[in-house]
Structure 1
Amino acid sequence: MTASRENIFEALGDPVRRYILELVATGEQSAGAVVAAVQRFTRISQPGVSQHLKVLRDAGLVSVRADGTRRVYALDSEGVAAAQAWLAGLVDPLAPFAQPLDALATEVARGQRASRAAKPGRAGESGGAEVRPA
């Protein structure tokens, strides 16, 4: 599932969901283990934890897989990468332009070298008829 930036940060707005992310960031966790850990953190019912897990899943921050009758949750790297990319854009808003600008600088330098090489009278270059003293 592709995560939208809006859903990601909306999901991260709740401290219980952030705690769940910290739990699954350490490795895969069964739904039961997540519920037990969250209930030690705050008073919440099992259906309440399930709802938080659904929000995180819908935001693309966690993934779930079936393991027999259990559901196992893990951090979804794509959702985390989307959040990181957006935050990195705040720190360095010109980063997406770095490579195109580097390429432009290379082409400008190449053009300047070609222009200098094309000028007549440069040492070692033939620019026309050679003039010899009489």
Structure 2
Amino acid sequence: MADDGVWKALADPTRRLILDELAECDGQSLSGICARLATRHALGLTRQAVSQHLAVLEAAGLVWVRRRGRYRLHDLNTAPLERIAARWLTPDPAGDVP
């Protein structure tokens, strides 16, 4: 199932915080994300730990990475979340109610 990676990514509270930070301020570098997690959430994660969380989010399609010079900038991609919401929150067109 394609959504398994999304559920795995959302299962971790640190990854959810990273998504929250990207929702508030898109296009952040790894350093920027680390700084926001440290100052706003008192999380003292290493750059490597944050990078591993970002890799899971990227694999799930929740984060896009683009390069600007020597920096990798991370952007939130809400399309996988929209697919999940549409799957369960959209009324059944046949009107079947269990």
TM-score tier (shorter): 0.7 to 0.9
* Amino acid of the structure 2 residue aligned with 1:97: A
Question: 1:96: how far off?
Answer: 4.5
Match of 1:5 in 2: 3
TM-score norm. by structure 2 comes to 0.81
Match of 2:82 in 1: 81
CA 1:87–1:24: 2 relative to 1, 3 Å: farther
**Any unmatched runs of 5+ in structure 2?**
none
CA–CA distance in structure 2, aligned partners of residues 36 and 87 of structure 1: 36
Question: 1:70: how far off?
Answer: 0.6
Match of 1:45 in 2: 46
Q: 2:18 aligns with which of 11, 14, 20?
A: 20
Report the identity percentage.
32
Give per-residue Cα distances to partners, 1:6-58, cap 9 Å, x unaligned: 11011101110000000111222122101111233212110000000000000
CA 1:47–1:84: 2 relative to 1, 3 Å: same
CA–CA distance in structure 2, aligned partners of residues 59 and 96 of structure 1: 29
* Amino acid of the structure 1 residue aligned with 2:45: I
* Amino acid of the structure 2 residue aligned with 1:13: A
Match of 2:71 in 1: 70
Does residue 56 (structure 1) correspond to residue 57 (structure 2)? The answer is: yes
More helix per residue: 1
Structure 2 residue matching 1:65: 3-state secondary structure = strand
TM-score norm. by structure 1 comes to 0.61
Structure 2 residue matching 1:43: 3-state secondary structure = coil
Kindly report structure 1 stretches of 4+ aligned residues shifted beyond 4 Å: none
CA 1:86–1:9: 2 relative to 1, 3 Å: farther
* Amino acid of the structure 2 residue aligned with 1:32: S
Structure 2 residue matching 1:97: 3-state secondary structure = coil
Query: Could you say what the CA RMSD is over the residues aligned between the two structures, in angstroms?
Result: 2.1
CA–CA distance in structure 1, aligned partners of residues 35 and 94 of structure 2: 47
CA 1:49–1:96: 2 relative to 1, 3 Å: farther
Match of 1:129 in 2: none
Q: 1:97 aligns with which of 88, 94, 98?
A: 94
Structure 2 residue matching 1:10: 3-state secondary structure = helix
> Superposed, which structure 2 residues align to 1:90-129 within 5 Å?
92=91, 95-97=92-94
